[in-house]
Amino acid sequence: MRSNGGPGRDVLFRAEAEERAARVHDVSYELHLVLTEGRETYAGRAVIEFHLDTRDEPLFMDFTGGPRALQVNGTDLEPDHRDHRLWLPAEHLRMHNRVVIEYENTYDATGDGLHHFIDPEDGATYVYSNLEPFSAHRVFPCFDQPDIKATYQLMVTAPPTWQVISAEAPGQLTYLPKGPRLHDFPRTPRFSTYLFSLISGPFVRMDSVHDRVPLGLYGRASMKAELERSADEIFEITGQGMDYYADLFG
């Protein structure tokens, strides 16, 4: 597969995206992220499964991070990671593929990717993602283009006082030795990589229900009073928006 990305350029050209979309189908991601308070990095493990139509050329996944281990269809390989791309050799690719990547990544400070924020009011740490339009690969290795949709199954290990929020309501919650908790989310429906979300930290939470749909409102602990004052209005406006779009789209 040809690549137009030059040294250090974190870009994906249209021709590359079209060529890759013609080859790659039926993608699923199984992600485990480990968030530790007080660290500037986080650890990750990604299991990516996908169907590949043609296997005569290497294939790249978008990734800005530090891969520590790579396994392609059961074979351990030295990661070929350059110019924000992780290359999979053609000789190890099959019709159905399973790729396992272990990595460590640095939090972003630009507002994109996985952002790390320390509240100046109380020193609490918060983490949130912003992946539009081309930043999911800053968080995990992926085919980072909107037309290669996938399912996502997320597990997050986080400090015991942290909430963990994503696209699905959390499923099983496990208390681990020495304090952390493992948040296990059910598999999502298929959607584009830029819609993946992860928010975590010692948030204050308020709950409501609109038309039998549960609603959750989160705010930083230092802003609890402001959140409580505004919650009713926010829930009301949110419900009105839900009603509008329900009527619009049926």
Tens of pLDDT, residue by residue over 47-60, are 999 999 999 999 99
Same-domain status, 236 and 219: yes
Structure tokens given for 212: 């039998």
Question: What is the domain extent for residue 134?
Answer: 14-202
Q: Are residues 214 and 115 in the same domain?
A: no
* Judgement on whether residues 103 and 171 belong to the same structural domain of the protein: yes
Structure tokens given for 152: 């996502």
Task: Specify the CATH number for the domain of residue 197.
Answer: 2.60.40.1730
Q: Average the pLDDT over 63-91 and give the result.
A: 96
Q: Say if 5 falls within a structural domain.
A: no
**Is 235 in the same domain as 198?**
no
Residue 140 has pLDDT above 50, yes or no: yes
Local confidence band at 81 (pLDDT 50, 70, 90 cut-offs): very high
Residue 6 predicted with pLDDT over 90: no
What integer pLDDT is reported at residue 89 of this predicted model? 97
Tell me the average pLDDT across 180-193: 96
Residues 32, 149, single domain; the answer is: yes
Same domain, 86 and 139: yes
Do 54 and 132 sit in the same domain of this protein?
Answer: yes
The confidence score (pLDDT) of residue 4 equals: 41
Model confidence at 175: pLDDT above 90:
no
Q: Please state the domain count of the chain.
A: 2
Nearest-angstrom CA–CA distance, 201 and 35 = 10
pLDDT > 90: percent of the chain: 88
**Taking 80 as the threshold, does the pLDDT of residue 131 lie above it?**
yes
Give a three-class secondary structure readout of the chain.
Answer: CCCCCCCCCCCCCHHHHHHHHHHEEEEEEEEEEECCCCCCEEEEEEEEEEEECCCCCCEEEECCCEEEEEEECCEEECCEEECCEEEECHHHCCCEEEEEEEEEEECECCCCEEEEEECCCCCCEEEEEECCCCCHHHCCCECCCCCCCEEEEEEEEECCCCEEEECCCCCEEEECCCCCEEEECCCCCCECHHHCCEEEECCEEEEEEECCEEEEEEECHHHHHHHHHHHHHHHHHHHHHHHHHHHHHC
Instruction: At 48, give phi and psi (nearest 5°).
Output: -115, 125
Is 215 part of a structural domain of the chain? yes
163 in the same domain as 249: no
Last residue of a domain, one of 167, 185, 202: 202
Residue 218 lies in a domain: yes
CA distance 121 to 77: 46
The reply to whether 71 and 190 lie within a common domain is: yes
pLDDT reported for residue 7: 52
Whether residue 174 is found in the same domain as residue 220:
no
Q: Give the confidence band of 8 by pLDDT, cuts at 50, 70, 90.
A: low
Q: Residue 229: inside a domain, yes or no?
A: yes
Does residue 20 sit in the same domain as residue 69? yes
Q: What pLDDT shows up at residue 118? A: 93
Domain-embedded: residue 1 = no
